[in-house]
Amino acid sequence: MPGVKIVHCDCDCFYASIEMRDDPGLRGRPLAVGGRPETRGVVATCNYEARKFGIHSAMSSARALRLCPELLIIPPAMEKYRAASAQIMEIYRDYTELVEPLSLDEAYLDVTDVQRLQGSATLIAREIRQRVAAAVGITVSAGVAPNKFVAKIASDWNKPDGLFVVRPQDVDAFVAALPVAKLHGVGKVTGARLKALGVETCADLRTWEPEQLREHFGTFGERLYELSRGIDRRLVSPSRIRKSISVEQTFAADLPTLESCQARLRGMLDQLDARVRRADAQGQIQKLFVKLRFSDFNRTTAEGGGSALDEEQLRILLNTAFRRNPRPVRLMGLGVRLGEADGQLALFGNQPAAEEPDTL
């Protein structure tokens, strides 16, 4: 998949970070979030001070206390963690709809088609980390790579509060040096079998032919063959139903007038049409919208009902949005809101554009 840009974001000791955020007195001391030792509780997560003692998630709380008698174990507050997770995921989705949460504190983002920040996945990951720190008060580590497998490993490379980028031309050398234990799906049993066969790194694994790997590991042998070469064809799969499709462009120089904005609309509409067709969503369009961000960083969105892409209506919406704050425009976006394809959308016709600006 040439040109693919994947970001893997992973919050640093998420539950513990939220607790330290809310009670700064907890910082600097060994802390775990989990169940009590007398109830056979386990550690859900712990901070880095606790990890120095060898404590890790899924360890029994009783063993954790034996390793560190000063360890403070507090019960999880899931509602608080879910609220923080929702904030974080909303920041991710401000960049792309292709967000695949793996848990409350971890997600893949496909930013291949994102135009913000010059389309740089590295700059996007950096800005996301800054925004989460400012808005949520915790740190996120991120990995950037051409596929999910390498991006996930990269996010762990500079933890905590780190960013690591593996460029396409560096994937081969990066993966070759990895221990096979880093491969997705290689647990203790498979890892021990590989070690017994003299395989400790991906470079070692590359000396094996697919047939040999299938003989020893069945169908998983084929996966091992690909992963050891940095090949991962899995797509980022959002867990929620897509509600909109959009394109946006940040301009190197602000567009000074409505006419200069209108001149850019045709090209952006062609991009939007291509995305709608790629998603096979032509029959799901319920609304059209235009988003503008001005030179003073205020933004507004004008919406109107419609069951198909209509250049004239988008020009009307652009006119409506621009006149709310007639300043030079630094970013323009076009999009559609989606619903169920039920054959009834045309009954609604075109509705007036929304009047209230969405100002930050």
Which segments are annotated as binding site for Mg(2+)? 10, 105
Write down the catalytic residue from 49, 97, 106, 248.
Answer: 106
The four Cα atoms 129, 141, 75, 43 give a dihedral, to 10 degrees, of: 170
Give the Cα separation of 163 and 72 in Å (integer). 29
Cβ-based neighbours of 320, under 8 Å, separated by 6 or more: 290, 302, 353
- Please report which residue ranges of 177-310 form alpha helices under DSSP H: 188-196, 202-205, 210-217, 220-227, 258-278
Position 306, amino acid? G
Least Cα distance to 249 among 113, 92, 93 occurs for 113
**Cα R_g (the chain), whole angstroms:** 24
CA 240 to chain centre: 13
Helix (H) or strand (E) holding 304, with range, is: strand 299-305
Least Cα distance to 156 among 6, 47, 8 occurs for 8
Query: Does the annotation count 90 as an active-site position?
Result: no
Ramachandran sector of residue 297 (left: φ over 0; alpha: ψ -120 to 50; beta: rest): left
Q: What is the DSSP letter of 179?
A: B
Give the Cα separation of 204 and 282 in Å (integer). 49
The catalytic residue positions are 106
